[in-house]
Amino acid sequence: MRRFINAFTTPTAKSSALFYFGSFAISGGRYLFHLILLRLLLPSEYGEFLSYWSLLYLLTIPYSAISNIITKYVAEFSGKGNWRATNQLFYYLLEKFTPVTLILGILFVVFARPLATAFKAHPGAFIILGLSVFLSLISTLVRSYLAALQRFVAQIFTGIFETAVMILLAVLFIIKGFAATGAVAAQLLSGILATLITFYLIRGTFFPRDMGKRIKFDINNYSGYSLIYAIGYLSLISTDVLLVRFFFSGFLSGIYSSLSILGRMIFFGLGPFISLVLPIASHRQAAAKKSRSVFLKLGAAMIVFGISATGVFVFFPDIVIRLSSGANYLEGASHLPFVAVSMFLFSLNLFIISYFMAIGQPQANKFLLAATTAQPLLILLFHNSLSQVVNINLAIEAMLFLALIWRLKKQGI
């Protein structure tokens, strides 16, 4: 018994608990943001907003790859006390990705009207998204450093601040009549403020710039797998929303969007475990310590929380929808249990893959790539009803989970 208690009172366990509950509060705030939008916007308007949100997820695929690179390598550098490499990596990534992001942002602004026509939306929101592309690069770089350096208190503070500002601005803009476009603008402005605060808190990491001999960063192999991870992670929760928006009516798109965001409540709640496993396990690997215990402890806690939350969605779907989305979205109640199980499996899959990446086995991302490729192809072939789309997602996540469990057993983990 004492050994069990000691395992959960170590410094790592305490800091992990702080990060989890703080992140859970932030996730709750972000979820509140969506619940407020569900109440303030009609189903068709919310479907429009989540289309913007999903498209933004796809746009930030390279940034998620960058985030994983920073989290792994900065955690390793700090574990070895190599602060020079930590400093130079920031400028290396900034110089490498700035031209691409600027071109992408300009293209987005230029093609705002065709995109608005395709997704039944307002072109103003796409212009805002285009302008935010470069800002998102800076935000990703700075925030990823905060996570990799395990500055959990600062990370929680900025996250809570950003979420509060986003909610306040969204309500204000929607009341002023800007609808879904106002919600997108609120997200952008709050993100800028949070990035400025984060940069100030860890400015010593970036300044002064190390002008010594340039370090050659051998990150190409890991970068490729990290990009696959980002594509899979963001595509699996975005592509279906965009395809439903394209193939179905505005109302059904809103119903599916509400199901998607309700299911993500499970992912938001379990997300901190996924965020923790990469920096902590990478740090332990770099310091020549065992990382298997990190995987087992975080995984066990994740399963307990996940099953509890999923059970509520499975057994009380009508109540969940009435309390969160409102009566306008009750048509989706029969689908919610399947969406909830799918999101639980999705969270477990990302957790397992993140651990593989932390211990230097990123090849597990090949399974994720297969799932990511299969999802849009199957939806393109089978989209006669929302049930088909929901079942496709569930089947894909279940198959991916079984494949990853097989790989864990094969590796003796």
pLDDT 10s digits, 376-393: 999 999 999 999 999 999
pLDDT confidence band for 314 (50 / 70 / 90) = very high
- 12/277: higher pLDDT: 277
Short-list 232, 237, 261, 231, CA closest to 47? 261
The whole-number pLDDT of residue 285 equals 67
- Minimum mean pLDDT among 8-22, 198-212, 232-246, 287-301: which range? 8-22
pLDDT confidence band for 46 (50 / 70 / 90) = confident
- Minimum mean pLDDT among 61-75, 79-93, 177-191, 397-411: which range? 61-75
Mean pLDDT of 362-370: 90
Look-up of token digits 């894909």: 396
Mean pLDDT of 146-171: 87
pLDDT at 23 over 90: no
CB 40 within 8 A of CB 250: no
- Which pairs from 242-248 meet CB under 8 Å and 24+ separation? 242/51, 242/54, 242/55, 242/58, 242/119, 243/376, 243/379, 243/380, 243/383, 243/389, 244/383, 244/386, 244/389, 245/47, 245/48, 245/51, 245/119, 245/120, 246/118, 246/119, 247/383, 248/383, 248/386
The whole-number pLDDT of residue 386 equals 92
Enter the tokens of residue 91: 């400028």
pLDDT (tens digit per residue) in 184-223: 788 889 988 999 999 999 888 888 888 878 888 777 666 7
Task: Quote the CA–CA distance of 156 and 329 in Å, as a whole number.
Answer: 32
Listed ranges 177-191, 230-244, 374-388; the one with the highest mean pLDDT: 374-388
The whole-number pLDDT of residue 72 equals 77
Give, as one character, the DSSP assignment of residue 394: H
Give the 3-state secondary structure of 173-198.
HHHCCCHHHHHHHHHHHHHHHHHHHH
pLDDT at 312 over 90: yes
Q: Is 234 left (phi over 0), alpha (psi -120 to 50) or beta?
A: alpha
Enter the tokens of residue 372: 């990511």
CB 344 within 8 A of CB 204: no
The whole-number pLDDT of residue 36 equals 86
Look-up of token digits 């651990």: 355
| pTM over 0.85, yes/no | no
pLDDT (tens digit per residue) in 246-273: 888 888 988 998 899 889 889 888 888 8
Mean pLDDT of 78-84: 81
Q: Which run of H or E residues covers position 409? A: helix 386-410
- Minimum mean pLDDT among 26-30, 90-94, 118-122, 371-375: which range? 118-122
The whole-number pLDDT of residue 1 equals 46
The whole-number pLDDT of residue 4 equals 43
Task: Quote the CA–CA distance of 53 and 30 in Å, as a whole number.
Answer: 13
Give, as one character, the DSSP assignment of residue 85: H
- 30/356: higher pLDDT: 356
pLDDT at 8 over 70: no
pLDDT (tens digit per residue) in 398-412: 999 999 999 998 877
pLDDT at 307 over 90: yes
The whole-number pLDDT of residue 216 equals 80
Short-list 122, 162, 148, CA closest to 282? 148
pLDDT confidence band for 317 (50 / 70 / 90) = very high
Enter the tokens of residue 296: 């087992």
pLDDT confidence band for 336 (50 / 70 / 90) = very high
pLDDT at 13 over 90: no
Quote the mean pLDDT of the chain: 83
Q: How many residues does the chain have?
A: 413
CB 124 within 8 A of CB 181: yes
Short-list 38, 14, 4, 34, CA closest to 265? 34
pLDDT at 136 over 90: no
Distances in Å between the alpha carbon of 372 and those of 66, 220, 291, 365? 19, 22, 28, 10
Listed ranges 53-57, 77-81, 320-324; the one with the highest mean pLDDT: 320-324
Residues sharing a CB contact under 8 Å with residue 392, sequence separation 6 or more, in sequence order:
240, 375, 378, 379, 382
